[in-house]
Structures are given as structure tokens and as C-alpha cells.
Structure 1
């Protein structure tokens, strides 16, 4: 059955005034927190929602040129799923989408789109799902809760899915925590980045990973940022993905010696995230060094300072 056929008739969505949903980017894993730790960052996907004659999606801007306008689009897919899970007809609305988040760069563009669609639908319907259910649905669609939680809730989110469902802790990192995103111009699909990971690991590597993931969570929750240099070390994915990303290895190894708190691969990459203390670090010196690394490895790209986002998804009137 087509989406338009399942939409409510014109006027049925008129119970709400036009609104916008703004959802932040996110960096997942932060080293050892594979598929369970995410940090929200101040780049945004925005969806503007207005009553319309039928359900339609309109992407805006060069970043979204050529993206689907139907159920293949994550915003549309999430919007429809939220209505289905709420047991309500899909309202006839126009979804206008624009995004600052580069696609396939490891900055949570898909999670932001999914969360935006879910929140847009829940807002249209009067809020029957609520944040906890939205988090569950976003994690289901995304396949893991790291980017989904950060995009929805903001701050740093540490989450686990198990027999008792989804459990998480959302923390607000200290305001002095700054980030520099090293964003190559080329894409790296998550499927490719996951494909290079081994099927099994040694007990030694498993213990290393567990201890460092625990330390990462403790560092974020306590605000002991000096622990991040050790806490972000990883043996699960970064050593295997580094050959796919020129320049990543020296950034991971040298950033703390250059005055940063830590460095890690952002999600599946290719973006690298450098964490630094805004009160103590030489930010300009770090940026100059990171640009030199890109030049040395002949990687077209940019270095962007991004603030940690603490609000998550926000709904505002148009």
C-alpha cells in the first residue's frame, strides 16, 4: 500500500500548527564504546512540517540533492513507522528537510534523519509515544542506540540493549570539553567499515575493550576529562578501519602529545574526532597540525570545531 494511500484526508492534520524539528549530529563509539556510546554535536538536520493535501517529502540544499523523496528516505521511513507503532493513520503533511550534517562521514546523519522523522510524527499526533519509546524506535531503525540516543537526548549517552529492554544514562559533559572534527571530503559507507572487522577477538582484547569502555563511561559521567586519553583507546574496530582512512593512525597516536585530551574515529568514519580542553589546549595549534596531517596524506577535507550539543531534538513553532 502506498504512503499516500495511507495518509489521512486533507485537513485531518490541522490540529497542529506548522513546526520544525531540529536534531543534532553525533559521534559514536568514542573509541571503545562500540555501538553503545554517543556524543551529540552542533551540526543539525532540520525538518519543517506543515499540513498538506497528501504526505510528501521535499529535500532542500546541495547536501541532500538526489536523496529519495519516498519511503527510502530515513525521515519518511521513520515518520510512517512512528504512526504505525502509535496505531494512528499517517497524517497528510509536507516534510521539508535540510541538513548541515555531511552524509556517510561518521557524524550520525542517518540517526539525525530517523530521529527527526520520529519526533515529527509524534508531534503531529499529539505525543502518544514519548521520548522513551522514540529512543527505542530510533535504536531499532538505526540498529544500535549510540547515535540515536545522542541525537534524541543530546549530551553524551551510554546505552545498552538486553533482555530487559533499552537502558541508558545521559550525561552532560563539562562545558570545557571541545571537539575538532577532521572531515574528509570522501564518503565511507558504514557497511564497508563494518566489513573489515574480524569475526572474533582474543580474550586479552575483550578484557582490554571492556575495561576501557567502563573507564570511558566513568570519565564522561564524572567529568574527569584527563582520563579520556586512556579511556578512548580501542582494539575492537579502530585498528582495522585505520587502513581505510589515510591520516587516521597518526591522529589517534599523536593527538594527546599535541595537547589534545584524546582522539578517536567518529562512528565508522572517515571523520576523526579530536577532544580537547577549551580552557587549556592550544586550539589553533591543534587545527594547524590536523590540517598538516590532511595535506601530508593528500586527503581533501576540513577541520571544524564543533560544540557539544546538550539539547538533543528540539521542536519549535514556525
Structure 2
């Protein structure tokens, strides 16, 4: 093993040895997505939700230049508390390793690392995508191109509603990324249940998603991802009127302060959290817990090849 090869947490090593299902989890939600102390609490809740639904969690991140597939609790706490954690997309991984950096992995990086580790299911909150006015700025998340070449199922609540949802769906189509709604033909908008667009396909159970994984593998035709869009129930979403007002004020503030590039998404999410007095934060947490539960059920179904119990545990 070289100095920079992937390393595995003990619990993931045991799961791989024993043939147990594993779910990949990102680490940017820990270091960049949620404020302290919520970040550490939620990271632990996400992992426990995966366990409660029949799979082994593998939170992915970089510690001292080493990519770790399955951070232990002390490493998760380090990424939650440290102030100099780099936000790592795929292009940053080797450079950050050379610098012996600590880093949190984005959707793009987590997907690529998980696929390299043989993990087929990944749970996150919302994807990055095409930014508003991208026709002028060319600002588009690396998540999209990474998913075009990564054979993984990404369970998410669509793309963040602060982005151009329609343009993002168009880019996913162009890139050949499969998109399906989970028990819906409408694409969710992260904080809100309905993002305003239809999707062509619907999958209704973990077993159907597991069949997708097997079909892609057996066909040997496509090596792209499946974006499985799992909307919040309508009674758990952020109030749509509040969402629209907050988004409008956030975009105005963004232009006023001249925020661009990588800073746009964290700026707008922070604006949502402050302007909604924590309501969006609660919704964000609910999203990732529901997605973690569903991802675990999919991984268990694919691993077993048989039905898994209906109904999954999500912390209240």
C-alpha cells in the first residue's frame, strides 16, 4: 500500500470481509454544511440511521492527507471542530493529499471514492448543479460531470433549490445520468417537496432500485450514476411561501455583496438558516436522515437480493 492509497475504517473493513451492505456518506455536511454543534450531532445521527436500517455507514473524508472510507467517531469529531478543513471535490484530492491536508468530501468526491471502494449506494442531502445565470458565469457544480462517469446510486432530495433546477436536469440528461423519482414523477427541490419539474422514471421500492443496480452491472453499457430523488413529505417541507421569500432576499443579498464561485452555496444556505430562524436547518437534517434510511434499505436489498422489511426507522 502506498502512502496515499485509500484506507478503511475498521467497521468498514469488517463489513467488506463479512459481505455486509455499506452506504457511503459525505463529510462536507459535517465541516461546511451545518453549524457547530449541530454538525457533530447530526453526523452521528446519520450513521446511526444507516445502522438502524440494516447497513454499515462509511463516512468518507481526508485526515492528514489520507482518504478514509469509514471515518471513526474521533475523526468525525475532528472534521466537525477543526477550522481549516478543506472542501474537496475530485480535482482536489491528490493535491490535498500531497499537502497532508484535512478535508471534507463533496458529492463528486464522495461518489468517486465510494465507487473506487466498491460501494454502490451513497446518501446525501441535495446535489450541486447549474447555478442561476450560468449562461454568464459558466458556474456549474463538478457533481454533475462526476456522476456521469461514476456507477453509484445517489439518494438525494433533488438539487438545492437555490440553483437552476431546470438547467440542472437538462445537463444531467446531456451527460447521460439516470434520474428517477422515488415514489414520484416530480423532481423535489431540496427544502420543498416539488421542485417544479417532471422526471421520466419512477422507482417505488428499494428492491426496484436494487434491480437497477443489477441491470446496469449485467448490461455493461452505462457507467453513470442514478440520481434517486427522494422528496420530503409535503407536511415536512419548508413552507413554500417562506422558501420563495427567503430565496429572493438571499439572491438579492448575494448580488449586493458580490459573492461568486464556491462561496455562493454556503452563503445562500447560511442565509436560509438565519432568515428562517432555524426552520431550514431542521428541514435539512430531516432530508439527510430520510435519505440515509432509504439508502441503507437499498444497499440491504441489493446485498441480499431479497425483500427487506417495509417501513424504516428515522429519528424523530
Question: TM-score band, normalised by the shorter chain?
Answer: under 0.3
Bigger Rg, structure 1 or 2? 1
Larger helix fraction of residues = 2
Where relative contact order (Cα < 8 A, 6+ residues apart) is larger, the structure is: 1
Larger strand fraction of residues: 1
TM-score, normalised by the number of residues in structure 1: 0.26
TM-score (norm 2): 0.26
